[in-house]
Every structure is written in C-alpha cells, then in structure tokens.
Amino acid sequence: MPLKFIRAFNTGSIAAGDSYEKEFSTYERWKLKHVILLERGGGSLYNVQFYLKIGEDVITRDYAPAHIFHPDSRYIVEINKDVEPGTPIYFKLTNSESAAINVDVVFVVEE
C-alpha cells in the first residue's frame, strides 16, 4: 500500500532514568503500518523501553525494547492496525540509558 502520511512527535531531551509520555487521538481513519523510533543524536536505544496502547489494545505488553522499532533493526515491527477516528493513542518511553536521549516517534500511515 502507498504511504498516506507520516505523523511524528519529538520527545525533547529525556534524562537518564526519566520517561516521556504522550496521548493523542486520530481525527481520521488510519491504517497504521509502522511506528519508528529514531534517536536524534545517533545514540543507542538498547536500554530504552517503549510502551504503546491504541484504544483499548496494549500493543507492547508490558513494554518492548525501543531498539526493535528502529529502521536499522533486524526485526522490523509491523503494526498493520486499522485505527478509527477519535481513537486514543498513548505511548511512553523510559530511558534506562546512562545519558539523555532525544527521540522522534514516527507513525507511518498507509492508504
């Protein structure tokens, strides 16, 4: 399927030991293909935990290692989920690295 659009959020700096969380709602129907996590400074996401909930569906029970959502990962996570308008999407990143991170959380939506 062709790309419809990309929706991205930036966490800003997340200090070692801290978390960032965000909740938003869709305003149109989404076919969510991927969620991609990119560390802006090129730092590691190996000791960062990612939690994702779409509506009532917890996608990452209890959490997932954030690095598997990086496009260079050996394991490419495909969400392939239809998301109805008004559905709340909640995500949380917990930084267990020894330095601050700055992450772009990218939602790839197909036609």
User: What is the C-alpha separation between 96 and 25, in angstroms, rounded?
Assistant: 28
Q: Which of 94, 78, 88, 93 is nearest to 34 (CA)?
A: 78
Q: Are 42 and 86 in contact (CB under 8 A)?
A: no
Answer whether residue 1 shows pLDDT above 80.
no
In this prediction, residues 33-44 reach a mean pLDDT of 93
User: What is the C-alpha separation between 70 and 85, in angstroms, rounded?
Assistant: 27
Answer whether residue 37 shows pLDDT above 90.
yes
Indicate the SS3 state at residue 69: helix
- Pick one of 2.60.40, 2.60.120, 3.40.50, 1.10.287 as the CATH number of 3-110: 2.60.120
User: What is the C-alpha separation between 61 and 33, in angstroms, rounded?
Assistant: 19
Query: Using 50, 70 and 90 to split pLDDT, how confident is the model at 106?
Result: very high
Q: Which of 103, 99, 102 is nearest to 17 (CA)?
A: 99
In this prediction, residues 41-60 reach a mean pLDDT of 95
In this prediction, residues 88-105 reach a mean pLDDT of 97
